[in-house]
Chains A and B, each alone.
Chain A
Amino acid sequence: MENDLVLEIPTDVRSIQHTVEYVMQRCRTCEAYQKRLHLNFRVGLTEALTNAMLYGNEHDPSKHVRVEVALENGRLEARITDQGGGFDPSAIPDPTEGDNILKSGGRGLFLMRQLLDEVSFNDRGNQVTLVLRLEQGTALEGGAQA
């Protein structure tokens, strides 16, 4: 994948929304798809960054999260990598089933899977790739690495 945007951000939950807004702004030509971008992609990216900082890097400010975003052939792809030991995504229970609905956690991955067209992990479990399908002809503004 040739990346249109690459960010290395420190583990600081206060930077999550700023990062998400920055990525969204870079995809100005996606405006025709505001609904899917504003809800689906925004939620997915926010949850992936939150998981990476809280559970992957375990709040450690010396660790970073790498964000790679690419848009090609109407396929908006975000790859988020933390410096943690990884986790088993299949071990996360469905938060909508039974008493799980009364638990305070466990909804981030569920929302990603509900709102993105594809969600996949590397074998180690410290990298998630989110894909949102737009239509062909869209591109990220700029294109230079940030």
Chain B
Amino acid sequence: MGFQVSQNGDATLVEVEGQLIVGNRQELKQRVLEQLEGGDRKFVIDFSSTGYIDSSGLGVLVSLSKKIREQGGELRLSSLNEDLRTLFELTKLDTLFRITDTKEEALVGF
């Protein structure tokens, strides 16, 4: 379980491995905020290797999205599996984020 952070042009790509849950949400928040404070404004969080996100994890994504927008940036999400998409749809968070099928799609035109 961990986070891989890499640069793709102007965009910061964060790949979530395993789960995004109450036990590791603060680590993700810290990693993204460090990049934001360092000047990054375009973020993609990819979930192709993610099995589960709990409500705490959803909350961290909302919080990060707000902070990034306040700095004039954008947070995009990619590669949600069917179960994760269901959670986003139930909570209507699919209306808050731009969600793409692949990380490549999210990075295009960013």
Contact = CB atoms under 8 A, between A and B. Distances in A.
Interface string B76-110: 00000001001100111101100000000000000
B93 A101 contact: yes
Contacts of B21: 13, 16-17, 46
B62 A43 contact: no
A125 interface: no
B23 A102 contact: no
Nearest to B95: A101
Interface stretch (A70-78, A79-87, A105-113, A129-137): A105-113
A17 B23 contact: yes
A96 B92 contact: yes
Interface in B39-69: 52, 54-56, 58-60, 62-63, 66
Given A38-B83, A42-B52, A54-B22, A107 B92 contact: no
B7 to A, nearest CB: 27
B12 interface: no
Interface in B8-38: 19, 21-23
A60 interface: no
A114 B90 contact: yes
Contacts of B23: 13-14, 16-17
A110 B87 CA distance: 11
Interface in A94-133: 95-96, 101-105, 107-108, 110-111, 114-115
Majority DSSP secondary structure for residues of B touching A: helix
B82 to A, nearest CB: 9
B59 A105 contact: yes
Given A50-B22, A50-B54, A111-B55, A43 B87 contact: yes
A110 B60 CA distance: 17
Contact of A46 (B54, B59, B63, B95): B54
Nearest to A42: B52
Contacts of B55: 47, 50, 105, 107-108, 110-111
Contacts of B87: 43, 111
Given A50-B54, A108-B54, 16 more contacts: A13-B21, A13-B22, A14-B23, A17-B19, A42-B52, A43-B54, A101-B62, A101-B91, A101-B96, A104-B60, A104-B63, A105-B59, A107-B58, A107-B91, A111-B90, A114-B90
